[in-house]
Amino acid sequence: MTEHTSPNNESAESGSAQHDTVKNGNAENHAAERGTAERGTAERGKLTPSRRELFGMIGAGAAGIAVGAAGGAAAQTALSGGFDDNRVDTVHGVVPFEGEHQAGITTEAQDRMHFASFELNRATSREDLIQLLKDWTTAARALTQGKDIGDGAVDGALLLPPDDTGEAHDLGAANLTLTFGFGRTLFADKKSGQSVIADPYGLRSKLPKEFEELPLFAFDLIDDAISGGDLCVQACADDPQVAVHAIRNLSRIAFGKARIKWTQLGFGRTSSTSRSQKTPRNLFGFKDGTASIKSDEAEKLKDFVWIQKGDKTPDYLVGGTYLVARKIQMTIEIWDRQHLNEQQRVIGRTKGEGAPLSGSTEFETPNFKALNPDGSPVIDVDAHVRLAHSSNNQGVELLRRGYNYVDGSNELGQLNAGLFFITFQNDPAKFVQVQGNLKSDLLNEYIRHIGSSLWLVPPGVRPGEYIGQRIFEA
């Protein structure tokens, strides 16, 4: 729930998109129809997708998959609707997979997310890992174009399982982006029973010096079962079923080489990555991510997000970034019982407009020197906005791209809900600086950090490349 900087639009994440399809698990390229990867058009295999009314037919089914036993009309409504009417043809929109940077970072934030962490199997070799990344890359090129994988869901042999599971067969691309990350464990020795396999993937010498696991912060209650992993995939789309379909099929491709460690479904994006998007609200009802970096802020992206070429920076990292994911559980019922003045004091902003308590508009710079008539600071010394602001963090800003989540309710009927907080930065130390400064944050009384993960996000892929290829071949 930190206040940080913003992302760059989709510009750097483009490139000529290929339309290969993948034979599930074998990376067999089929010479399927190839077309121009234009935003706003998509093909699903050999079929022309039907123009369904925006989510009228898919709302209930998609929401059922996305929320499970979420319970409550509010959660169901949030997951089955609420799409931005100002965006044109979001269901059939296409975001190019190839480019200087991976898509899904500065891309205009979509409405839904399915995040997955994978662990490699003990027997998985370097060659197996490379093959998996090749297969995933081929699949990602197809999925992000709105195509089925391999022979698709309906065009394969009748006596064999379909290559594609089919639940997104006629839904279009829905602006799907797939962002891949490498865990620090890929670069380290691997335990196998009572023994240790030294440098199993041949990447130890490629470990960036700044790639250190996140420390334990004040009030952290981290559950290892929902933290970390060897690989991660962030699937974002404007249709929840499209995002779920992508992770489901990438998991099928990984069978025998990697398995899901944990996943997270998200809805109602909690940051805007372009100035055309309104600032969204978190489950506390406040606008979230006001100070986040926007996609058109090129200098900030260079300074804070993208890994830059330098004397000590290997070429295979240039254009990449680091992804931090923190699962933040909110004590919703306790928060809901606080009066409005207290809620605004904790955040340091007004609940309606989102303006700092020292100002009148959302994007006005907070005046941390402003005083009340009694001499007390207008913005509390431990208010979230003050402690998270770049002016109190050595100028550090972060690109935020998080989502709300609801994981059902407990036996008392209390919501298990919160914020799946995601930031991108070119050095994990930047996140550590900001998060470490929040130890006295008034908001800590109402939240619990229960998941914590860090991944290296390789640069974008060029035509003919697979994800992370430059790291393996350097």
pLDDT band, residue 56 (cuts 50/70/90): very low
What end-to-end distance do the CA atoms of the chain give, in Å?
37
Confidence of residue 365 (pLDDT cuts 50, 70, 90): very high
Check whether 59 has a pLDDT greater than 70.
Answer: no
Domain holding 359, by residue range, is: 11-28+59-85+92-186+221-465
pLDDT number for residue 6 = 38
Whether the CB-CB separation of 350 and 382 falls below 8 Å is answered with no
- Measured distance CA(103)–CA(384) in Å, rounded: 30
Query: How far apart (Å, rounded) are the C-alpha atoms in residues 261 and 257?
Result: 13
Contact 220, 165 (CB under 8 A): no
**Per-residue pLDDT reduced to its tens digit, 284-319:** 999 998 989 989 899 999 999 999 998 789 999 999
Q: Identify the band that residue 268 occupies on the pLDDT scale cut at 50, 70 and 90.
A: confident
pLDDT tens for 227-250 read: 999 999 999 999 999 999 999 999
> What pTM value is reported for the model?
0.81
Task: State the average pLDDT over residues 110-123.
Answer: 97
Residue reference for tokens 């698990």: 25
Q: Per the domain annotation, does 192 fall within a domain?
A: no
pLDDT for res 273: 75
Q: Locate all alpha helices (DSSP H) within 92-149, ordered by sequence.
A: 126-143
How many structural domains are present in the chain?
1
* HSE-up (13 A, CA, CB side) for residue 272: 15
Whether 457 maps to a domain, the answer reads yes
Alpha carbons 42 and 33: distance in angstroms, whole number: 12
Residue 5 domain flag: no
pLDDT in tens, 131-183: 999 999 999 999 999 999 999 999 999 999 999 999 999 999 999 999 999 99
Q: Residue 274's pLDDT band (boundaries 50, 70, 90)?
A: confident
In a domain, 44, yes or no: no
- Cα 103 to Cα 236: distance, rounded to the nearest angstrom: 10
Q: Is the model's pLDDT at 4 over the cut of 70?
A: no
Integer Cα distance of 365 and 386 in angstroms:
11
In a domain, 412, yes or no: yes
pLDDT-wise least confident of 21-25, 143-147, 444-448, 450-454: 21-25
Does any domain span residue 436?
Answer: yes
CB 173 within 8 A of CB 146: yes
DSSP labels, 433-452: HHHHTTTT-GGGGGEEEEEE
Task: Please indicate, yes or no, if residue 418 is contained in any of the structural domains.
Answer: yes
Give CA torsion, residues 143, 236, 227, 305, to 10 deg.
Answer: 110
Low-confidence winner among 244-253, 256-265, 304-313, 366-375 (lowest mean pLDDT): 304-313
Q: SS3 for 315-379, per residue?
A: HHHCCCEEEEEEEEEECHHHHHCCCHHHHHHHHCECCCCCCECCCCCCCCCCCCCCECCCCCECC
Average pLDDT, the chain: 85
Residue 92's pLDDT band (boundaries 50, 70, 90)?
low
Is the residue at 209 inside a domain? no
Look at strands 195-197 and 190-192 and give their pairing. antiparallel
Sheet strands (E) in 185-292: 190-192, 195-197, 231-237, 258-269
Mean pLDDT of 22-39: 37
